[in-house]
Structure 1
Amino acid sequence: MAMHWLVQGCSSGDSLVFQFSGAGVQVPDCSGEERDGMDEAICPLDSFQQGPILDDEINQAIVRPLVHGVKLHAIVDACHSATVLDLPYQCTFSKQYGCLRWRDERPLNGAFKGTSGGQAVLISGSSNGKTQMNMMPGPDATVGAMTHSFIRAVECEPRTTYGHLLTSMRTIMRNGGGNCNLQGPAGGCIRKVANFSGVEEPQLSSACKFDIHREPFCM
């Protein structure tokens, strides 16, 4: 896979970014690792010829090789993308407790899905089993609602924590994209063509748990 080059030769102090905005699918899991019996996958342009790229493959390619001091941020805007890096822990908004909480997503068969000492963080826009809304901010571009809310949240407050970033993204998505730089003609155009009402909560997964309200977000 072409994504292997991203982590080749990485060393302590490196900050890596993987971004995908497109189609995502679920396929039956044959390894016994998945709690829901389904693997998540992304579908790049050549997926009709080569097939989708499974979460297991993505984990092996860009998560496992991360050595101590290397940090990877993955921004994935696709259907079924919440665990598309197969990371051990997922942080989502709990309706029961009214706050963001970590959930253990480690495979039932004990397979190791972590790094080689580094850190990997996934920010995605759709929980598994859910579809993701698309939006068109202009006549020549199609942008996922999660991608748009992520960009706007970072632009509004570059120095923020992971917890505040997720909260800001959630607010922007729930307000129909009407925050920050979405005012005026451009914002009106986006709100007119984009229906955010069915958009999922922003999702965060990680190779290891951390305090999202204290850890500064930095790419």
Structure 2
Amino acid sequence: MLMNTSVTCKHCKLNLSATQHAQTICCHGCGRIITVCKYQETWNQGKYVSDTKFYKDSLRQRFLENDCQGSSWSTSTVKYVQSETISSWEAPRGKRALLCGVVYSKQKFRLKGTFNDVNNMRHLLVEHFKFPSSSIHILTEGGTYFHPTKRNIQAGLKWLVKDCKAGDSLVFYFSGHGLRQPDFDNDELDGFDETICPLDFKTAGVILDNEINDTIVRPLKPGVRLHAIVDSCHSGTILDLSYIYSLKDKKWMNNYPPSNVYKGTSGGQAICFSACEDDQLAEDTSAFSGKQMSGAMTYTFIKAILENPDITYEGIMISMHTAIRQARATGCLLKRLFRRKILQEPLLSASENFDINSTINL
């Protein structure tokens, strides 16, 4: 029988569980690699390790002071065999979340902030919005997590809305690359489908906005609310929702597909915060924290909520726009974007228009 041993992270003091022969593990609290013992044999009968205790200091202090630094793990850091499948995940009533952070390890287009993004978003959900830790599943590279492959993300999306009922609050978060491609179904006003890029997108392909809409928007029943937070390039209408909020005009704008195909829910509500408009690029940067890499949208989204727990939907949008514009004005963000005069502008979309001045509640 394989025995587990308890390890305490010396950086964030989180209690971790590892097998007796594990050489290193990735701390779920701060992302650092923790040495356990000298490697003796391959771990070939691993178990999925769910964290049961979180960093005790306040989320506000932890995030704003940037105590968590980027991790340096790789997909080969921990050797394990997962003992469960995504299809076996329980679908709890109430609050439920799927968080995806794709690093694209060993690729030229590797992202440095996505692991931090997922970590910070999980802490926000647990400590601020009171999500049970057992109701949050993470797809990312390293540790004991399922990798964010196309197949795993598709399975995770199905789990997110499985057997949803009135009163359920669902969250889908994605931090990674996004692309766009020509629309052949005549359901995009700009003529392009938006996509998210799984870890294996070069071989397995991308996930289109049409599929995301079919999987997690269409099944939403009356009384069910979904919030999607997508930090990737070209993510403006990644859920193909029918309404887009214009901060400039202070009103909801129609985003109906030209083909008139139905893109709505089955009575529930879907709301999406996107990192940028469909023709824009999103930023992976340390400009806001000074040292920790993070998606610009993710960082400013979390910061807005921590600074004002009663913030409204419009308040979050204004706060994110202001922070990103100020970073651009001071030259903090990557210059390659601004040589093209492209400004990242977060976008809010919804399956139905609602009171933009209502307090956000995930």
Matching residue of 1:145 = 296
Conservation of the 8 A alpha-carbon contact between 2:280 and 2:343:
no
Deviations 1:80-134 (A, max 9, x none): 101000000011222xxxx432110010111111101100000011101111122
CA distance in 1, matches of 2:166, 2:234: 31
Matching residue of 1:217 = 360
Matching residue of 1:186 = none
2:354 corresponds to 1:200: no
Matching residue of 2:213 = 59
CA distance in 1, matches of 2:231, 2:184: 25
CA distance in 1, matches of 2:260, 2:279: 23
Partner amino acid, structure 2, of 1:148: Y
2:208 corresponds to 1:88: no
2:158 corresponds to 1:15: no
CA distance in 2, matches of 1:208, 1:113: 11
Q: Could you state the TM-score of these two structures normalised by the residue count of structure 1?
A: 0.85
Alignment of 1:24-173 (within 5 A): 24-94=178-248, 99-136=249-286, 137=289, 142-173=293-324
Conservation of the 8 A alpha-carbon contact between 1:176 and 1:195:
no
CA distance in 1, matches of 2:304, 2:334: 19
Partner amino acid, structure 2, of 1:208: E
Q: Shift in Å at residue 144 of structure 1?
A: 1.0
Q: How many residues align?
A: 201
Deviations 1:48-96 (A, max 9, x none): 12100000000000000000111110000111101000000011222xx
Gaps of 5+ in 1: 178-190
CA distance in 2, matches of 1:171, 1:115: 32
Q: Shift in Å at residue 206 of structure 1?
A: 0.1
Which moved further from structure 2: 50-59 or 163-172?
163-172
Matching residue of 1:183 = none
CA distance in 1, matches of 2:258, 2:355: 25
CA distance in 1, matches of 2:247, 2:334: 21
For the residue of structure 2 that corresponds to 1:65, the secondary structure is coil
Provide the alpha-carbon RMSD of the alignment. Answer: 2.1
Q: Shift in Å at residue 138 of structure 1?
A: 6.7
| Seq. identity, % | 44
CA distance in 2, matches of 1:174, 1:194: 10
Q: Could you state the TM-score of these two structures normalised by the residue count of structure 2?
A: 0.52
Structure with the greater alpha carbon radius of gyration = 2
Partner amino acid, structure 2, of 1:47: F
CA distance in 1, matches of 2:312, 2:168: 20
CA distance in 1, matches of 2:167, 2:161: 13
CA distance in 2, matches of 1:77, 1:175: 19
Matching residue of 1:188 = none
Q: Shift in Å at residue 176 of structure 1?
A: 2.1
Q: Greater relative contact order (Cα 8 A, min sep 6): structure 1 or 2? A: 1
The structure whose residues are more often strand, as a share, is: 1
For the residue of structure 2 that corresponds to 1:176, the secondary structure is helix
Partner amino acid, structure 2, of 1:133: E
